[in-house]
Amino acid sequence: MWIEAPELYWEDCQVTMARLAAAERQIDLAVTSPPYMVEQPYEAGMEWIEYQDLLWNTYVGLDTILKPGGYFVINFGDQCRGKQLLGTQVPSTIPMSVTHWDCGRGVGWELQATRVWRKKRRGMGIPFVCNHYPRPVYDYEHIWTWRKCAETHHEVVRNRAMSQWGVLEFEGDLPKKRHVAAFPLGLPEWAIQVYSDIGNLVYDPFMGSGTTGFAALTLERRFIGSEIDESLREQVENFLA
């Protein structure tokens, strides 16, 4: 199947989502990993309230462009920036599930599934382990599936066997070479195969190095991505060419 070139927007995803909504364009599936507020360069100095707004505005924006019955697969971790936020001596864990639950329910969606991404190895091939002191490090992150309500509440999966994986284990493509916070290609590949059809339109509001786009195009879906860091432009355009 011939797939259109990806549409890449080098801007705040709020601007892109407003642009798509104004044009009455709708997406079938969103897959993303948002900023984690762990002091990566692109979130340095962000206050907790700003971070909550960023997440909430993302859910609200997606609600304006996601088709009824469409899915939103979000990958997130339990942040450990508590030193600044909570005034504790060492960083501590913040259970982000609470915020994501509030956001998704706030826009009226159904949480259809929660899963775990177990990180098998670090970039250099070293096994990933959990540590809690002096700084929490987890060998897993969350993968949640939201569904925008439609006439029915039925889950519509395209690959039943893959949808039944509760713990997803990925390794192998050393994604940090592309971006400090890239997720492995297997993650968006899994989401796209379970929750969309060939030819569907997939959107990543925080596309980073374009991992979701690469998976979408390889799997014969169309892709729209937003990324605020324009220094990634050449790299992403080459990756998705």
Ligand X SMILES: C[S@@+](CC[C@H](N)C(=O)[O-])C[C@H]1O[C@@H](n2cnc3c(N)ncnc32)[C@H](O)[C@@H]1O
Across 134-146, b (16+ Cβ under 10 Å) vs e yields: eebebbbbbbbbb
- Among 114, 80, 85, 119, CA closest to 97: 114
Site for ligand X in 37-56 (CB under 6 A): 42
Record the tokens describing residue 222, joined without a space.
């169309």
Kindly indicate which of the ranges 22-30, 100-108, 144-152, 202-210 contains the residues binding ligand X, using the contact rule CB under 6 A.
202-210
* Nearest residue (CB) to ligand X, 128 versus 239: 239
179, 192, 194, 219: which one binds ligand X (CB under 6 A) = 179
Distances (CA, A) of 225 to 49, 111, 186: 25, 23, 18
Q: Does 196 participate in binding ligand X (rule CB under 6 A)?
A: no
* Nearest residue (CB) to ligand X, 151 versus 234: 234
- Angle subtended by helix axes 48-65 and 97-106, to nearest 10: 40
String marking each residue 92-131 x if it binds ligand X according to CB under 6 A: ----------------------------------------
Q: Does 229 participate in binding ligand X (rule CB under 6 A)?
A: yes
Helix (H) or strand (E) segment spanning residue 29: strand 27-32
Block residue for tokens 């002091």: 39
Q: Does 79 participate in binding ligand X (rule CB under 6 A)?
A: no
- Angle subtended by helix axes 186-195 and 211-218, to nearest 10: 50
* Nearest residue (CB) to ligand X, 73 versus 113: 73
* Nearest residue (CB) to ligand X, 35 versus 136: 35
In the complex, the residues that contact ligand X under the rule CB under 6 A are 12-13, 33, 35, 42, 178-179, 181-183, 205-206, 208-209, 211, 226-229
